[in-house]
A = this chain, B = another copy of it.
Amino acid sequence: MNTLSVRSDVVFNPSMSNTDRHGLIAKTVRDSGGATVQELAELTGASEMTIRRDLDTLATQGVLERVRGGARTLLLRGEEPPFALRAQDAVDAKRRIAAEVAALIADGESVLLDSGTTCLEVARILRERHVTVMPLSLQAIRLLGETPGHADLLMPGGRPRAAEGALTGPLALASLAALRFDTAVIGCCGLSAADGLTAYDLDDAAVKKAGIASARRVVLAADGGKLGRTAHAHVGPATLLHTLVTDTTASAEEVDALEAVGSNVKIV
């Protein structure tokens, strides 16, 4: 919220790990829209040279934009926050949601796994389970394709969208049309009883729609921040969902409204 209060928490904290510092820098730049190298050096207690290196790293990761003298946020009104940035948000809630989603899936099932950070956490859990998984993002494919784990991997086709690695396009749609799944685990950018399920990207929305159509059961994994929000691309009405898993930050009215239209809501 307030940059000053953040500062007072951490000034003169010499035992800050580089990961902590990166997080703090990212948060500061995001909250205030931008920061100078000097400010960040003072804020974190690190040298300016270290801050410059941090900013280069974070810029490479797509967390922020490097400008002369400091860094600027990548967030613009109405645009989807970059993947690398969202991945840091609400990690705990996402993990809990993912655990609950995984608990809904029985051994032997075939599972369609949407793109997005929450679904990536689901992949991390399903990797150790005896299930067949088709992931719709490069990140999840990388995770499941590496040696350990018991899950059977099924690859969809498609063109990966930059950064996020979500698979879209005719090849992805064709892969989905050719298969049927026991469960589709879907993520979204917005969900409300009024506007239904929405995504930031048209291609993404088309893939989600096809995924939902190819599954016997649809589980939506969405942290509380997604509820009541509406993004640009419409996927379908909330009645398409069989189960919604969200966390305690979800607005109670929205949950009630969704339950009223027939969704089974689980709050973790």
Contacts and interface: CB of A to CB of B under 8 A. Distances in A.
Contacts of A145: 138, 141-142, 160, 165
Interface residues on A, range: 20 to 34
A171 to B, nearest CB: 6
Interface string A139-157: 0011001010000111111
Interface string A225-263: 000000000000000000000000000000000000000
Interface in A139-183: 141-142, 145, 147, 152-160, 165, 167, 170-171, 174-175, 178-179
A171 B154 contact: yes
Contact of A159 (B153, B157, B178): B153
B157 A171 contact: yes
B178 A170 contact: yes
Contacts of A157: 154-157, 171, 174-175
A171 B175 contact: yes
Contacts of A142: 142, 145
Nearest to A160: B153
A142 B147 CA distance: 13
A146 to B, nearest CB: 8
A142 to B, nearest CB: 6
Contacts of A147: 60
A155 B153 contact: no
B174 A155 contact: no
Closest 4 CB pairs of A and B: A157-B157, A157-B175, A138-B145, A155-B158
26 contacts: A60-B147, A138-B141, A138-B155, A141-B145, A142-B142, A142-B145, A152-B159, A154-B157, A154-B158, A155-B155, A155-B156, A155-B157, A155-B159, A155-B167, A156-B157, A156-B171, A157-B157, A157-B174, A170-B178, A171-B175, A171-B178, A171-B179, A174-B174, A174-B175, A174-B178, A175-B175
